[in-house]
Amino acid sequence: MRIAIASQGVEKTSAVDPRFGRASYFLVFDTSDESLEVVENNQNVNAAQGAGIQAAENIAKKNVDIVVASNYGPKAFRALEVAGIKAAIWADGTVSEAIELAINNKLKICDKANVEGHWM
């Protein structure tokens, strides 16, 4: 299983970033070899909208199965759904805690968007 965690830093001890679309990084943990990869959440700086779509694309490229963050907008949620990535809601601690919870199946999976999109 490949787990992406929205993160405020690049370490396992970094805090989980609650914002999915505008998270600073995604740390991708692979349970098969316990590797951790840092994925920058590069965003198109000019775009007022669609950060969540681009974030979903950034992690879809890394073939992840599940992502951990706490705020998902409607378009981000749709994008994750299309990509077949589960959206888990949790941002109460560190990246390593999030990995632990994900492996043990203790995270709440989101079945619809939980924040409104932003309009211009």
Partner 1 sequence: MKIAIASGKGGTGKTTIATNMAVAIAREGRDVTYIDCDVEEPNGHIFLKPKIREQYDATVLVPHVDLNKCTLCGDCSAACEFNAIAVLGKTVEVFPSICHSCGGCSDVCPENAIVDIPRTIGHISHGDGMGVQFYEGRLNVGEAISPPVTKALRRLDTDSEVLIIDAPPGTSCPVIEAISGTDYVILVTEPTPFGLNDLKLAVGMVQEIGLPHGVVINRSDIGDGKTEEFCHRQNLDILMTIPFERRVAEAYSRGEMMSDVNSEYERRFWELYCSIAEKVSS
Contacts with partner 1 by CB under 8 A lie at 44, 46-47, 49-51, 53-54, 56-57, 60-61, 75, 78-79, 82-85, 119-120
Residue placing its CB nearer to partner 1 in the complex, 84 or 93:
84
Alpha-carbon distances of 66 from 4, 49, 89, rounded to whole Å = 6, 23, 11
SS3 (DSSP) at 99: helix
Residue placing its CB nearer to partner 1 in the complex, 76 or 102:
76
Residue placing its CB nearer to partner 1 in the complex, 20 or 94:
20
d(CA 102, CA 64): 13
Smallest distance, Å, CB 35 to partner 1?
21
Q: Is 72:52 a contact under the CB 8 Å cutoff?
A: yes
Residue placing its CB nearer to partner 1 in the complex, 46 or 104:
46
Smallest distance, Å, CB 48 to partner 1?
8
Smallest distance, Å, CB 64 to partner 1?
10
d(CA 120, CA 32): 42
d(CA 23, CA 7): 6
